[in-house]
Amino acid sequence: MIEDGTGPTAAYTDAARARLVMAYEACELADLARAFVPIGEHELNPDGINRSPGTVLADALRVITAAQRFFDAAAVFERMSGADWQVIGDALEVSPRTARIRFAMAEAAFRELLSPERVPAAGEAGRLRGYMAREPLEVALDLDDWVLRHEDGDSDLGATPVSGSLVRRGLRRRAWTHL
């Protein structure tokens, strides 16, 4: 697994890498969904119907597909964080077996990305996920920029809302308790 490596990016935990993939999928989903908010000047006919039948439905399918990738990434993150199939099944109100059947392939694909013997995937999405696994800090910095560009102004996310929270192997956050 990558976290056993010696390079500067090898120090990130598998769970941190999985959370980064989940963050990326959330970013993609948000961008796709946000594109549906404005109504384009030439989108509707004068009578208010769709000028290009079928295009909106095809675009909506892309949003659902992105949502499914986000859902899969969330389950993988839970697994990389130590959740067993019982916990995942309970969260989804399904049996552990159903949860395993539903998400085992996504988990296996992620673990394959982390394998040092892995051959790079041919598809763009596979290459991107491989890049995220190999260069988590660079991807996290890009996501920092995305979050800050889309910040609503009411939140105090800081300058590194994604990269600042990535956990490196061997580092533990201290939990301070006040008496």
Residue 113 near residue 55 (C-beta atoms within 8 A): no
Q: Would you give the distance in Å from CA 86 to the centre of its chain?
A: 22
Residue 144 near residue 159 (C-beta atoms within 8 A): yes
Report pLDDT for 160: 86
Report pLDDT for 12: 86
pLDDT along the chain (179 residues), means of 10: 46 90 95 90 90 93 97 98 98 98 96 75 64 81 87 76 76 41
Q: How far is CA 24 from CA 29, 95, 120, 172, in A?
A: 9, 28, 19, 24
Report pLDDT for 179: 34
DSSP 174: -
Nearest CA-CA partner of 86 in 101, 68, 100, 73: 100
Whole-angstrom distance, CA of residue 104 vs CA of residue 76: 9
Report pLDDT for 121: 57
Rounded to two decimals, the pTM is: 0.79
Report pLDDT for 6: 44
